[in-house]
Amino acid sequence: MNLASAGKKVLDWIGKTYSNDIGNLLITTGMLGFGLSSGAQIIGIAKNNKIEKKEKTYMINQEVGDALINILSLLAFGKLTKHIGTKLVSTGKILPKTVASALEKGGFGEKIGKAGFDVLDTAVMKNPANANLLRDFANCKNMTESFGAVGGSVLSGCLIAPILRNNYASYMQKSIHPIENREFNRIDLSKYNSANVSGMKI
């Protein structure tokens, strides 16, 4: 097998696997990206001479926590929010007007938007003459899935992961550098007290 035909096989596989569903790819590459990025950043922090040892411990643990929590929460939230996106369209909660009108005309008006309803499991959508409706439906499903997958990434990567990773990193820092932490607190407290005392002019 030469390089060109191997390349074509890879492209065929991509076309077959992801041309219907781009949301899954976003989640997979997002997870890989988090892992790789954190690996690179850990090396960068370890090599950085301008950061003190105690802060390095915190930030390296922050990166480890970042990668682990990001991957886990992206898996949980990304898949969940993408699934919600799929369900919203498959039950008819969100639909293009073209599809909704056709379903209403076909006698499914009462069922649209109900939890157990499946738009694709109707005579209207199974009719080969309605290929344009199927295309609109697929586009709508792709759109809500994308919103779901990206929304999940934002929620997990920008809110949940930073809060959890900071808790993990501060716990690790305190268990690795307990003495320095105590000293830091004492210095901070003494500064605060002396400033108060001088301010009060006792």
Partner 1 sequence: MNVGNIVNLVSISKMAQKTGNAFRGGYTKLPNIQLGEKAFTTATKIGQFISNPVGNRIVLAGTGILLQPTIDYYNKKVDRKTREVSAIRTASKIIAGTGVGLAVRGGCMALTKNMKYIPEIIKNNPDKINNYRTAVSTIAAMAIMTITNFLLDAPLTTKLSNKWLEKREQKEQKEQKEVKA
When binding is defined by CB under 8 A, the residue of 6, 76, 120, 158 that contacts partner 1 is: 158
Q: Can you tell me whether residue 113 is helix, strand or coil?
A: coil
Scanning residues 115 to 154, which ones bind partner 1 (CB under 8 A)?
A: 115-116, 135-136, 138-140, 142-144, 146-147, 149-150, 153-154
Q: How far is the CB of 151 from partner 1 (least distance, A)?
A: 9
Query: Closer to partner 1 at the Cβ: 72 or 181?
Result: 181
Gap between the terminal Cα atoms of the chain:
88
Verify binding: residue 190, partner 1, rule CB under 8 A: no
181 Cβ contact list (under 8 Å, min separation 6): 54, 173, 174
Query: Closer to partner 1 at the Cβ: 120 or 154?
Result: 154
Scanning residues 74 to 113, which ones bind partner 1 (CB under 8 A)?
A: 91-97, 100, 112-113
Distances 75 to 28, 82, 157 between C-alpha atoms, Å = 9, 10, 11
> Which of these, 175, 174, 165, lies nearest to 67 by C-alpha position?
165
When binding is defined by CB under 8 A, the residue of 39, 105, 178, 192 that contacts partner 1 is: 39
